[in-house]
Amino acid sequence: MNTIFKEVLHKGLTQEVTINKVLIDKKSKHQRIQILDTPVYGRILVLDGIIQITEKDEAAYSEMLVHPAIQVLKNPQNILIIGGGDGAVAEEILKYNFVKKIDLVDIDKEVVKLSSKYFKKINKNALNNKKVNIFFQDAFDFIATTKNKYDLIIADRPDPIGAGISLFKEKFYKNVNNILIDEGMAIFQSGVPFLQKSETKEVLKHVNKIFKKNGVFFTVVPSYIGGFMALVWSSNKVDLKKNKLINRKVKIKTFYYNEEIRKGAFYCPNFLKFV
Ligand code: SAM
């Protein structure tokens, strides 16, 4: 008899997903980790009861965290992924041969180990790629202490609960800015505005104070229920919306991203215009 996975991220709203098979259900030092096979979303990663990524719709998220930014940056070689333990973002970045090094900082070694084994369809073994260096620590501490500088920083972070809370503090954004090169760019996962408008507003408030240029763009990830998801971009020199695409000649295979989707992603509904 199939069981049901119930996600309650937003008060008064439950997402129920039929489970075919429970592959993993364990507690790491940091969180409960579940890996479930489901008929609707395929294989899914759940951390502390919240869906993090699914085989069905991960491309709409990982491709939009990566390609809009990489397409406008001059030859980004050193990239930092904050979180991202499932390897999906790393896999997208590895589509560009000019990338030399990807530092990935995830607090949970278990997530990386299990994702390497169970999410090959999503990460295509990116977590074991020689360009990828993995650090197991709180990314808040890593960015406060690293001497490295990055061309692109992607905060593939969870919601601001549990281990993720440190990745939403103002100091976090200041430290991100300190390790970004002048012509660099940072992209922050910033919630589902219909249900988490304060999260999106909070991110924009912080980055407005710290970076010279920033803005919000959108993607649709059905398993992050509540409508479209907001991604916030920040830079001191490069404008994600206005700058021309300098890497469009790099042929990349994508499931969701293309140049029409990119253009459309910047159109903002009224209720967010004043965010
Ligand atoms: N796509 C998801 C979302 O939008 O909610 C995020 C996916 S990714 C799996 C989130 C990763 O962040 C997890 O692997 C988790 O272990 C990691 N993480 C949570 N808090 C962290 C922290 N403070 N420092 C580094 N990694 C953290």
> Mean pLDDT in the chain?
95
The alpha carbon of 216 and the centre of ligand 1 are apart by a number of angstroms equal to 20
Contact, 231 vs 216, CB < 8 A? yes
- Residue 12 belongs to domain spanning: 3-54
Are 145 and 44 part of one and the same domain? no
Are 50 and 68 part of one and the same domain? no
- For ligand 1, whether the C-beta of 199 sits within 6 Å is no
The alpha carbon of 152 and the centre of ligand 1 are apart by a number of angstroms equal to 18
Is 156 designated active site? yes
> Which residue in 156, 159, 182, 239 is the catalytic one?
156
- Our count of domains for the chain comes to 2
Are 191 and 116 part of one and the same domain? yes
Identify the residue whose C-alpha is closest to ligand 1 atom 12.
Answer: 83
Mean pLDDT of 202-212: 96
Q: Rounded to whole angstroms, what are the CA distances from 82 to 17, 71, 157?
A: 28, 20, 6
| Cα-to-chain-centroid distance, residue 188 | 7
- For ligand 1, whether the C-beta of 163 sits within 6 Å is yes
Q: How confident is the model at residue 133 (pLDDT cuts 50, 70, 90)?
A: very high
Looking up residue 232, the CATH number of its domain turns out to be 3.40.50.150
Looking up residue 8, the CATH number of its domain turns out to be 2.30.140.10
Q: How confident is the model at residue 161 (pLDDT cuts 50, 70, 90)?
A: confident
pLDDT of residue 183: 96
Is 90 exceeded by the pLDDT of residue 169? yes
In this structure, of 56-60, 101-105, 146-150, 161-165, the range with the lowest mean pLDDT score is 161-165
Q: Which two tokens stand for residue 35?
A: 């890996």
The alpha carbon of 246 and the centre of ligand 1 are apart by a number of angstroms equal to 30
| Cα-to-chain-centroid distance, residue 29 | 22
Are 135 and 258 part of one and the same domain? yes
- For ligand 1, whether the C-beta of 164 sits within 6 Å is yes
Q: What is the atom index within ligand 1 of the atom nearest the CA of 139?
A: 24
Are 186 and 119 part of one and the same domain? yes
Is 80 exceeded by the pLDDT of residue 1? no
Are 148 and 195 part of one and the same domain? yes
In this structure, of 23-32, 90-99, 155-164, 211-220, the range with the lowest mean pLDDT score is 155-164
Among residues 18, 34, 54, the one where a domain terminates is 54
Is 80 exceeded by the pLDDT of residue 166? yes
pLDDT of residue 275: 62
Are 92 and 203 part of one and the same domain? yes
Q: Rounded to whole angstroms, what are the CA distances from 85 to 67, 115, 193, 241, 258?
A: 19, 7, 24, 28, 25
Mean pLDDT of 18-46: 98
> What pLDDT, in 10s, does the model give residues 65-98?
999 999 999 989 999 999 999 999 999 999 999 9
- For ligand 1, whether the C-beta of 111 sits within 6 Å is yes
Are 97 and 164 part of one and the same domain? yes
Q: Which two tokens stand for residue 26?
A: 């364990």
Are 63 and 164 part of one and the same domain? yes
Are 89 and 135 part of one and the same domain? yes
Are 240 and 140 part of one and the same domain? yes
Contact, 82 vs 157, CB < 8 A? yes
Are 126 and 29 part of one and the same domain? no
- For ligand 1, whether the C-beta of 156 sits within 6 Å is yes
